[in-house]
Amino acid sequence: MTASEKPYVVLHNAVSANGRITGFEADQALYYALAGTWHEDATLVGSGTFLAVPGPFPEEDHHAFEPPFEIGTDNRPLLVVPDSGGRIRFWHYLKSLPFWREGIALCTGATPADHIDYLEKRHVHVVRVGEDRVDFSRALALLRDEFSIRTIRVDGGGTLNGVLLRAGLVDEISIVVSPCLAGGNPDGIFREPGVSAGTITLELIEARALENDHVWIRYRVAKCA
């Protein structure tokens, strides 16, 4: 597949200074303000990311079964969720959020039939690509051809990022570094024995771009939580 046959794919993540994407409080306002940079046609959100959203969600009502509004001026992106296992059963909530105009569930031959039925009844587009897990190479080509998606911003955890990166499907990585060290990282510069603890807050001294694409960030350690 050539680059022109798939959408432009950007991973956008908030990380702690020791490279974690969980275990600290990212500045959501800053993260989402930057998320508009690419004017994405679709947001790809991992099922693991949605399953980590703390509930409870509101009860489902008749709105869940209404088709999306057909307004030509609606420029909001589409929401795309790879969910071969049919674990996302709160599409009524996702549809009620103001960020996306319509939803697409990426399913496979392994997705339970009753889940396909669940999605169709709620007017969530079903795209089947792959036997067991989602085949992203095919999925991206299909999203481009059938939904005119040219740019996708990925809001995923390490798993989705890893699958896309290893498949050679990522064009850009965007990282917003939070001024803290998140506890409990087995591989980071900050390891701690036992259970994961709180974060260590940092204050920026200086950030400088260096030769050969290096970035030098100096932080002052402000507070150990």
Ligand X SMILES: NC(=O)c1ccc[n+]([C@@H]2O[C@H](COP(=O)([O-])OP(=O)(O)OC[C@H]3O[C@@H](n4cnc5c(N)ncnc54)[C@H](OP(=O)(O)O)[C@@H]3O)[C@@H](O)[C@H]2O)c1
Residues that bind ligand X (CB under 6 A): 13-14, 21-22, 26, 46-49, 52, 82-85, 133-134, 155-160, 163
Query: Least Å distance between CB 26 and ligand X?
Result: 5
- Pick between residue 22 and residue 196 the one whose CB is nearest to ligand X: 22
- Pick between residue 24 and residue 219 the one whose CB is nearest to ligand X: 24
Rounded to whole angstroms, how far apart are CA atoms 50 and 71? 27
CA 205 from centre of chain: 30
- Pick between residue 43 and residue 122 the one whose CB is nearest to ligand X: 43
Query: Least Å distance between CB 23 and ligand X?
Result: 9
| Residues contacting residue 23 through CB under 8 Å, at least 6 positions apart | 16, 182, 183, 184, 185, 196, 199
Query: Least Å distance between CB 44 and ligand X?
Result: 9
Structure-token match 């992203």, residue found: 136
Q: Provide the strand spans (E) within 94-189.
A: 103-107, 125-128, 151-155, 172-178, 180-181
Query: Least Å distance between CB 9 and ligand X?
Result: 14
- Pick between residue 85 and residue 198 the one whose CB is nearest to ligand X: 85
